[in-house]
Structure 1
Amino acid sequence: MFDFSPSEWTAILLSLRVAAVATLVATPIGIALAFLLARRSFHGKLLLDAVVHLPLVLPPVVTGYLLLLSLGRRAPLGAWLADHLGMVFSFRWTGAALACGVMSFPLLVRPIRLSLEAVDRRLEQAAATLGAAPWRVFVTVTLPLALPGILAGMVLGFAKAIGEFGATITFVSNIPGETQTISSAIYALIQTPDGDRAALRLMLVSIVIAMTALIGSEWFSRRAIRRLHGA
């Protein structure tokens, strides 16, 4: 039952690689945006918040198609990136990572924002009165206090990236060994005669990964609450 074929291992490892890259690249951007939304008031804040969370409510195929229109090889921006920087996203595993990062971004940002909002500002003010520069206060006080929430967002974003399908298959198709993740491999297998057992194996793998990530995210969230309340 659990004798994975080489193609199945390839899909599993590619999914982990894509999700890891998507999460690592999205995290610094997510922290910056979460800090902006949590700590700053400005015109257009509601609009920015809506844009950040838009992938949650848009059909994933729409998000994938928008990526294809903007970063496809024939799109102006996509062509410029390919010609001048050698960066090609469409029909590449890097494009799968980009699509997964976009789709998982709201789930990554939300716990980080909540964690930053819960940080006791008096601790930051105390550090500032002792002469610490704003960037030093952020690095030595704010980030450590918000770290469990950041980790919770990363784990949740990773889980979402592992299970992403609609945007990925629209943007980068389903190319074995290049863009075929667990989700797209299952989609291909259920349309193949005698592919049910292999599809079931990959389904169980995805369930285990998702459950582990959800439990990890909940653990980090509770740790953040205890830490911020001094428990």
Structure 2
Amino acid sequence: MRRVPRWVYVPALIGVAFILLGPMALVIRMPWTDFVASVTSPASLDALRLAVVTALTSTALCLVFGVPMAVVFARSNGVVVRIVRALVLLPLVLPPVVGGLALLYALGRRGIVGQYLDDQGITIAFTTTAVVLAQTFVALPFLVISVEGALRSSDDEYEQVAATLGAGPTRTLWKVTLPLVVPSLLAGTVLAFARALGEFGATITFAGNLPGTTQTAPLKIYLDAINNPIQALPLALVLMVVALVVVVGVHMRPGATGAR
């Protein structure tokens, strides 16, 4: 283990205390006597069910579109590809509310694409589909950047050997390239699911907050926090535990930084 200056521990501990203070306060203030009843109430279960189902669907979409995007970004260095990559990763730094507004003006009933869909009787905004699309919008870059980073750092020697043995690009991709980055692919998938599960800003802007239709767990927590802050704590703790499991699972996997 490398030596660390002793003074470094002081700001490090202050930072750790700052991060842990919020979750600790949430646990301390938790109405434990009403915890089970609150979490298992019909409204909470509907919100959790919708959040999990839409997050799983969004994660599947991230895999379908994100993995090919990561392969293209990792194996191409053209100017156009770099520009497109920057645009694809924009949701990482874009305020979610702005993302939701962009989706609304693109796919809403009066959006540049949504108006034509509406003419065909297809409505997306303020539906469950809008929840899935909002979650996919914010979660997709997490999977792309995880897989792309692994592809860039992996040795392409095996791909070259496969090519010399007569394997085509598609067979090489499925049999050689992707198996080499399975740990990062799994990590990116888990992170995308967690990001989708906790999505709030883009969802409430593009899908609204309709119980049973678009009200996911984060949206219900927000509504409860306005009406009765204590009532919002049980469901908030559930999401916090899920987030903790995701973080531990990602960082404790074999080969992850800090897991050695």
Residue equivalent to 1:205: 238
- Aligned equivalent of 2:229, options 181, 196, 201: 196
The Cα offsets for residues 45-102 of structure 1, whole Å up to 9 and x where unpaired, read as 3311211111121111111001000100222411323444x54321111101100111
Residue equivalent to 2:36: 2
Residue equivalent to 1:174: 209
In 2, distance between residues paired with 1:88 and 1:22?
18
Q: Relative to structure 1, is the Cα distance of residues 221 and 50 closer, same or farther in structure 2, using a 3 angstrom cutoff? A: farther
Q: Relative to structure 1, is the Cα distance of residues 10 and 78 closer, same or farther in structure 2, using a 3 angstrom cutoff? A: same
Q: Relative to structure 1, is the Cα distance of residues 106 and 151 closer, same or farther in structure 2, using a 3 angstrom cutoff? A: same
In 1, distance between residues paired with 2:114 and 2:126?
12
Q: Which segment is superposed worse, 38-47 or 158-167?
A: 38-47
The Cα offsets for residues 105-150 of structure 1, whole Å up to 9 and x where unpaired, read as 1111111011111222111111111111111011101111111111
TM-score by length of 2: 0.81
The runs of 5 or more residues in structure 1 that have no matched partner are: none
In 2, distance between residues paired with 1:143 and 1:53?
21
Please tell me the residue identity of whatever aligns with 1:22: S
In 2, distance between residues paired with 1:147 and 1:88?
37
TM-score by length of 1: 0.90
Say if 2:247 is the partner of 1:214: yes
Residue equivalent to 2:11: none
Residue equivalent to 2:172: 137
Residue equivalent to 1:118: 153
Deviation at 1:223, TM superposition (A): 6.0
What number of residue pairs does the alignment pair up?
224
Residue equivalent to 1:88: 123
Say if 2:31 is the partner of 1:15: no
The answer to whether the 8 A contact 2:46-2:212 is kept is: yes
In 2, distance between residues paired with 1:198 and 1:72?
33
The answer to whether the 8 A contact 2:250-2:256 is kept is: no
Say if 2:60 is the partner of 1:27: no
Deviation at 1:201, TM superposition (A): 0.8
The answer to whether the 8 A contact 1:149-1:221 is kept is: no
The answer to whether the 8 A contact 1:152-1:221 is kept is: no
Residue equivalent to 2:142: 107
Residue equivalent to 2:15: none
The answer to whether the 8 A contact 1:151-1:220 is kept is: no
